[in-house]
Structure formats: C-alpha cells, structure tokens
Amino acid sequence: MARQHKAEVMIAGEQLRLRLHDGKLIKDRRYHFRTYPNCFVAHELIDWLVSHKEAADRATAASLMQHLMDHDILHHVCDKRAEFKDAKLLYRFRKDDGTFPFNTEVKIFMRGQQLYEQLIADKNSILQLREEHGVTYKRSFPGCQLIDYLIQNGEADSRRQGLELCRALQEHGIIQHVGQKHDFFDSGLLYQFCINFRRRRRLSELLTENEQVNDEAVMASTQEDNNSESPFLLRRNSSKECNRAFSVSSNKDSKQITGVRRSSLSSLQFHSAGFPPLQLLSHSAVRCNPKSVLKRKVTCEELLEPGAPFIKKVLTVIGDALGWGFVVRGMAPCYMQAVDPGSPAAAAGVKVRQFVCQVNGQCVLYLDYRTVTRLVMTGPRTVVLEVMEPLE
C-alpha cells in the first residue's frame, strides 16, 4: 500500500509539473541579482491550486505541496527550507533541475510505467478480458505471456531475467495476481497492473491515501513521545535467519513505525547478488522504554554553535543482507534512538544519542526522521553518516 501511494504521488507530481509548465507558472525568475531557472513562486502556486479547485483552501494546498516535498518531487531552490510555505519563496520540481533521486525503487516504477504504456498502445496487446476460476478480469495477462513480450521486445535477455523484473514490479505494487493470492510465476496465472498510469490524479486524493498509509505503517509519534506508560516494545528480528530491523510496535496492533531496515525496497538487488529473498520471520521481543533516549532537547542551532559540547564523526555503515541495524528518531535534528549491538551500524561506531547531520553527503539536519529514514532505505547499501556525538 505504501509503495502504491508513492507511485500515485510521483504520477500526480509529474502531471502537476506538466500543467504548470503549460500554464507558464514555471519559468526563469530573478531574485537578488541571480536567475533561478524553471521555478515557481509558492504563493502563486497556492493561488492556482485553489482557483483550479485542486485544494479547498490555502492551508490544504500548502499541505499538498509539503507532501510532494516529502517525496522528493519538489524542493526549495536553495535547499534552505524543508517546509513548503505559502509565501514569496521560490521552489522547483526536481525533474526540472536534474536532482530527482533515481534510486532502485524509482527506476522500477519508471520501467513499469513504460511497460504499461507500451502494452496499452499495442494493437495486439496481451492486456485482455480473461477468466480465472470463474471470475472475469479486465486488462489481465498470463505471467508467461508477459515474459514472452519482454524477451521479444528486448526488455529481458532470458526468461529468468524477465521473471526477476516481473517479481520486482509485483513487489513494488505495480502488478499483482488478479486474486492477490500468488507471487509472480512464469505460468498461466493471471495478473493485472495495479496502477492506471493514464488516469488524471486529483491532488486532494494524495492526502486521503497518505492517511490510510500512515494508519498501516506509522503510529502517532507524539503519542509515543509523551506517554511513558504506552505499551510499546522495541523489537528485533531473530539474528540467525531474518531481516535485521528495529521497530516500535504496539502489543495490540504490532504496527511498525521507524526502523531503518533494508527489506523489500532492495530485495531485488540482494536476490540478483546471490542472496535469498528477504522474509519477515518470527520476532523475539525485548522490553524497552519508548521515551526518547535524549537527556534533554537539543536544537539545530545548538549543534552548529562554535564550541558546542559535541564532536563530529563520519561513519561508514556497510549494510549486509539483513540491513543496517539502527533506529532514527526526532523532528530536526534527528538522533539515534537505538542501535542493534550485533549490527553493521554498531561495528561502524554508531551509538545512541548521536545526532545525524548528513546522509551520503546530503545535509539532513533540518529534516524529520521519516525523511531521513527514507533517504537511507532508498539509497546505496553503503551509508556514510556524519554525526554529532555529545561529549560526556
């Protein structure tokens, strides 16, 4: 569900970008004797969204644009602001300046979109009305025929390579079994695209979908921070044969929130490198205080102040097939809430209460933990962290 929401955000963002180019809202602008190409003014965009009924009011419009910023669709032209403000500020779509992060997930999404467009345009398309177990499905296709198509059109060199691509598409929520009962197989089982790439998205849909995703993936962090009696467990997977991950879970609902782990986003990469597919197996739970490990609140300004009681360290964490093994928390600055003692993170010198300043050379000091977590999960296997460690 989370992957499908990301796909919807990327599609909606691209559709909005093209509309704004057509409407001349995106253009070169000059500010303080400097020209910023292909950008827009925040309050002008808010005006446009409200007048075109893409948002009910200015606050909702700003929330929509913030959602696009959180998904790396757009950013402040100087990257000085992590928040979208309804003001005379310049922002730009990342696709217009070449900073859009083409990670593994995005590449698979774009490959799925390209394949969808090709199949829709094909006069003899394999997308047809078909029946499985007495139920009829529109625009469905047998798995073996999709692999045939990939090989015939040069998208795959072998059936094995075609199968790996199709399983990656399924894993990232682009295709699925019509009955949602099977993984992808080179067989006569029927599959469908989960996403209609051509449907025009209304931006207001994004916030509704995001609420549903958050209900599944994220428990309210304010509850967690303020309630010392909250029945949460800090959980770690079995170290022998499962995916290393920390997550804060409720005894009742067992919903994961912030564990930085390398799971489905990169399982294709690990599988092709000879690792078995990652699976979530049984857990052994260890009780833990859910409150922040910080002894006191620290601001970004305090970290940057000359002579502050912190030491800067650059740590290189090389993730293994199980993950990295640390939990990031905080709303700016982020800090290490927990570190698995047997993880690559611990071996690299990552410790609790360290503040995260940079991830792979990108400043994250003013970003929240969700954004920092996403940067790590969608980035390379080797993560270079610049941290500030309190002097004892």
Note the pLDDT of residue 351: 92
Mean pLDDT of the 358-379 span: 85
Termini Cα distance of the chain: 43
The pair of structure tokens assigned to 368 is 């929240």
8 Å CB contact between 42 and 77: no
| Residues near 218 by beta carbon (within 8 Å), at least 6 away in sequence | 255, 257, 258, 370
Q: Where are the alpha helices (DSSP H) in 227-316?
A: 267-272, 300-304
**pLDDT computed for residue 324 by the predictor:** 86
pLDDT confidence of residue 290:
54
The total of other beta-carbon atoms located within 10 Å of residue 366's CB is 16
pLDDT digits over 328-347, tens only? Answer: 998 889 999 988 888 889 88
Q: Would the pLDDT of 234 be above 70?
A: no
Helix (H) or strand (E) holding 179: none
Averaged pLDDT, 164-171? 93
Check whether 34 has a pLDDT greater than 50.
yes
Q: Please answer whether residues 327 and 338 qualify as being in contact, where contact means their C-beta atoms are separated by less than 8 angstroms.
A: yes
Tokens of 171: 């894993």
